[in-house]
Structure 1
Amino acid sequence: MTQKNNPLHGITLQTIVTDLVDHYGWEELGARINIRCFTHDPSIKSSLKFLRKTQWAREKVEYLYLKTNKLPLPKPKPVNDSDHQPCDDTDLNAHIWGK
């Protein structure tokens, strides 16, 4: 079964983290995504353990991987809460993670 709308289909989390570390190094990766598994005694094993349990952090890592490799970015998730205003797609990072 193919997932034509999922650019990460078939790419393991280990591949994503390893490629990002190879591209940026731990220090730069920790500066781009400030999570402890990247900034304090980082390793692939500890990062995978954390990212598999923490969806918001995994989404940030996957987003950076897509952006770094110039792959199609995911569409923002629709917001059903009447308190939120719709945003344009110019800053997907801000829409997904509130930055």
Structure 2
Amino acid sequence: MNEHPNDPLYGKTLKTVLEYLVKEYGFEKLGADIKIKCFTTDPSISSSLKFLRKTPWAREKVEELYLATINQKSRVEMLEVKS
């Protein structure tokens, strides 16, 4: 049996993660939260992906923000269901 790990990033591409964050926050807020130039100077999905693929520390920060965001949304949804 081949089971998937219990990892919210499993099966998610960096592009999917970045597009989700841009939709949620926009490049301006991403640039304020994660101080990297690709979010603040002429930002685009394409240029950001190129930078993030070459820069492990920046990719890690983006993935951490994604995980925090989906965890927060899950908690809010659970609270709404309980009330």
Query: What TM-score comes out, normalization by structure 1 length?
Result: 0.67
SS at match of 2:62: helix
Q: Distance in 2 between matches of 1:69 and 1:20?
A: 10
Give 1:41's aligned residue.
Answer: 42
Letter in 2 for 1:22: K
SS at match of 1:70: helix
Letter in 2 for 1:23: E
Q: Distance in 2 between matches of 1:5 and 1:59?
A: 18
The Cα shift of 1:2 comes to: 4.1
Instruction: Provide structure 1 residue ranges, at least 5 long, that are not aligned to the other structure.
Output: 72-99
Residue 8 (structure 1) aligned with residue 9 (structure 2): yes
Q: Distance in 2 between matches of 1:38 and 1:60?
A: 13
Letter in 2 for 1:21: V
SS at match of 1:41: coil
Query: What TM-score comes out, normalization by structure 2 length?
Result: 0.80
Which structure exhibits the higher relative contact order, with contacts defined as CA atoms closer than 8 Å and separated by 6 or more residues?
A: 2
SS at match of 1:7: coil
Instruction: Provide structure 2 residue ranges, at least 5 long, that are not aligned to the other structure.
Output: 73-83
Please provide the CA RMSD for this pair.
1.4
Q: Distance in 2 between matches of 1:61 and 1:2?
A: 26
Identity of aligned residues (%): 62
Q: Which runs of 4+ in 1 moved over 3 A?
A: none
Which is helix-richer, 1 or 2? 2
SS at match of 2:8: coil
The Cα shift of 1:7 comes to: 1.9
The Cα shift of 1:5 comes to: 3.8
